[in-house]
Amino acid sequence: MTISGRVLVVAGSDSSGGAGIEADIKAITMMGAYAATAITAVTAQDTYGVHAIHEMPGLFLARQIGLVLDDIGADAIKTGMLVNEANIIALSRLLAARDLRIPLVIDPVMLATSGTPLLPAGAVGALIKLLMPLAALITPNLPEAETLSGIPIGSLEEMVEAARILRGLGAPAVLIKGGHLEGMVVHDVLLHNLEIEVFSSPRIDTPHTHGTGCTLASAVAAGIAQKMTVRDAVDRARRYVQAAITSAPGFGGGHGPLDHTADWRSISP
């Protein structure tokens, strides 16, 4: 496989390997792109939840980002767990100071799969004000979309409404993931170029969904780094995640990891 596209991931590390930087690297690699990282925090976690978080100093985070950009470079930047408001401010200032035109994919990680808070409520405003206007795409799940948009979401129609609200806050493209809604079919809503597209797929009955959000957003970022359209990058990434959930290895006693080696080509577009 020839490597095409460089993705710099700014996110936290997951010691269980299912989410965070570890999932990001696996997903980007499986998409045929190159992953570089800037780690915001190191976590102690397993399939039951996040037990401890050790935050990286802001200056050290900025150092990681700067060195990667100056040497290897990036065709896309993807953010995951940003941990605190200081990191959001530092990242936004760094991007503005460098006047970078690199597409930014924001996965606004706020809660772990287990429900552990991963971003203080006070930092949400900074995320909306400082980073969302810089993004090429944001990829919230339903709870995150509710927090960012300020409206409750209990239906496909409300997902569309929330996507339009988020676009009004500065994000040119929005992908709201509908896995938290009940039903036998999962709907994801993409708002791009002022058009709404709904992606639908059968729900897979499994507890092994740890890291789906990180995996999806990183796979999308890889596609964007490879000059795919946002729509095509989302389509490929969704098929990859479906395949990865379907063949999840069943590790751990809680929410287990995906099979990041899964072949997304096995899922029909």
Say which of 78, 139, 177, 223 is annotated catalytic: 177
Told to judge if 154 belongs to the known catalytic residues of this protein, a careful annotator would answer no
Told to judge if 209 belongs to the known catalytic residues of this protein, a careful annotator would answer yes
Told to judge if 212 belongs to the known catalytic residues of this protein, a careful annotator would answer yes
Say which of 79, 214, 215, 256 is annotated catalytic: 214
Say which of 12, 17, 213, 223 is annotated catalytic: 213
Told to judge if 211 belongs to the known catalytic residues of this protein, a careful annotator would answer yes
Say which of 12, 20, 80, 211 is annotated catalytic: 211
Say which of 37, 43, 209, 215 is annotated catalytic: 209
CA 222, CA 20: separation in Å to the nearest integer? 15
Told to judge if 170 belongs to the known catalytic residues of this protein, a careful annotator would answer no
Q: Looking at the annotation, which residues are catalytic?
A: 177, 209, 211-214
